[in-house]
Structure 1
């Protein structure tokens, strides 16, 4: 797909750590499983205490959502692709000695009408500490938490990602972006941001490249078009980025991109 754009003055707009401060590590950070409608499936995670103190560790499942830049976060909101209500975890709490590990087993009970992909996060909480503010007992609780991602997909003919590109944006890149509203003729490199929306019911992974051409048809540069691990969740938009290395003068340019999914589809 190609964009033809006149580039003059631009207006600037303002995975996952798995180790807590207490030394508790969950793995794998991202787990993808196949599920079947109307049936139960199981999955496991490993929790290790890499610290030097014994820790009381609590586990819980929450729904997951994701930002346009690919940062997953736990939420109680009703994202229609959350599956926390389908899942039970055993054990819910363990005491982990230094350099010891344990296995957490989850069971997901899939509804008969499930279709596509669903998401949750396993959250581990450690080091709960109550801090008193005054002698009357007022205070607050401090707790370290860390989460890992579960992605569950029903493998049916109707489970698919349907991707659409949104409006392409271009920005100055790096320190130069803080000092100018025009990326062209300044010596600044450039960055393309291409939002991709998934209108399907299943996630996919994608990556590709973007080429910049002059108005005379000369290819100036081809750069990777990526976004972290490349996951695009259903009903969500993911920003893919491409960074150029050279500055551009005022003028007309053509940008073409090629984005490929893990299933072999291109847009």
Structure 2
């Protein structure tokens, strides 16, 4: 089966503004979307793959339709930006230096029976001679079925979800370093945060656990928020207490002392710091 150049697909009708906002962070985290006119599990939640210039790389996205009626979907690509407030913005307009022209999709639209799964193929073909860089784009899965709301009044409601694809070409890799430490408000609560700079040519993520001790002597493990740090940017990453055995996340009484090492890939970032508002 021939794949279709993604750059030739028609621009989507971006009809579900509220759902799109709610699904912005879901594009970077595990992907599941439910809405009137749209009910699907998307797997995997994101792609992080290695690619070589001049060689096509084929991948598969699985879509499971969980609605009670046959589901109709449109699949297309989009460029995206990750804003300072950690919200994701999608655009069907080609961004400068977009790699979406390298992407081919299996088809434009598909129908899936209730409870069925569809393995959707796409291909990334970096041109020969492409220097090391990261190709980033979103695969958008949009529901096409209208839904009735508010009694007998019918509105076209098209939910959508974006699956982010990161393809590191020619060995592109991140280079992360902690620049500053501070206490910042996160969801209205004072939170230990790290400003992390990426001077590499691919995105990276902080991982691992560190030990925290607060002013009351409470001890707990902490982990960095699972957010991407894109090349050339500095991202504020929260250190979050880890709740054990389903317990609620403990409240922190500052000042907070944190010790341990965080990781990105095979690299370690030692951390021995005091956080105070």
Q: TM-score, normalised by structure 1?
A: 0.69
* Residue ranges of structure 2 left out of the alignment (5+ in a row): 1-28, 149-153, 242-250, 271-277
Picking from 26, 44, 49, the partner of 2:60 is 44
What is the distance in 2 between the residues matched to 1:204 and 1:172? 23
Match of 1:232 in 2: 229
1:93 CA drift (Å)? 0.7
Number of residue pairs matched by the alignment: 223
- The structure where strand makes up a greater share of residues is 1
> What secondary structure is seen at the aligned counterpart in 1 of 2:159?
strand
Match of 2:132 among 112, 115, 119: 115
Rg larger for: 1
Asked whether the equivalents of residues 78 and 93 of structure 2 are also in contact (C-alpha less than 8 Å), the reply is no
Matched residue, 1:259: 262
The CA deviation at 1:102 is 1.6
| Alignment gaps of 5+ in structure 1 | 1-14, 132-138, 178-189
Q: Is the 8 A contact 2:206 2:263 kept in 1?
A: yes
CA contact (8 A) 2:211 2:220 kept: yes
C-alpha deviation, 1:106, in angstroms: 0.7
Give 1:19's aligned residue. 33
Deviation of the 1:256 alpha carbon: 6.1
Bigger shift: residues 121-130 or 32-41: 121-130
Shift in CA distance, 164/79, structure 1 to aligned 2, threshold 3 Å: farther
Aligned-pair Cα RMSD in Å:
3.4
Q: 1:160 aligns with which of 173, 182, 204?
A: 173
Distance 2:238 2:55 in 1: 39
Do the aligned partners of 1:206 and 1:259 also contact (CA within 8 Å) in 2? yes
Q: Tell me how far apart the structure 2 counterparts of residues 56 and 223 of structure 1 sit (CA, whole Å).
A: 45
Task: Look up the match of 1:242.
Answer: 239
Q: Are residues 198 and 23 of structure 1, via their aligned partners in 2, closer, same or farther at CA, if it must alter by over 3 Å?
A: same
Q: 1:78 to 1:193 in 2, by over 3 A?
A: farther
Q: C-alpha deviations, 1:239-266, integer Å up to 9, x for none?
A: 22225744347xxx87667432122243
For 1:85, what is the secondary structure of its paired residue?
A: helix
Q: Choose between structure 1 and 2 for higher RCO, CA contacts under 8 A separated by at least 6 residues.
A: 1
**C-alpha distance after superposition, 1:182-233 (max 9, x if no partner):** xxxxxxxx5211121212101223224365699xxxx9867424012x5322
In 1, Cα distance between the equivalents of 2:94 and 2:178?
26
Q: SS state of the match for residue 259, structure 1?
A: strand
TM-score (norm 2): 0.66
Q: Which moved more, 1:26-35 or 1:240-249?
A: 240-249
**Compared with structure 1, are the counterparts of its residues 239 and 223 closer, same or farther at alpha carbon in structure 2 (3 Å cutoff)?**
farther
Q: Distance in 1 between matches of 2:61 and 2:257?
A: 47
Q: 1:128 to 1:259 in 2, by over 3 A?
A: same
Listed one character per residue, the Cα deviations across residues 30-49 of structure 1 (whole Å, up to 9, x for unaligned) are 12221111222111111121
1:171, distance to aligned residue in structure 2 (A): 4.1
Map of 2:201 onto structure 1: 201
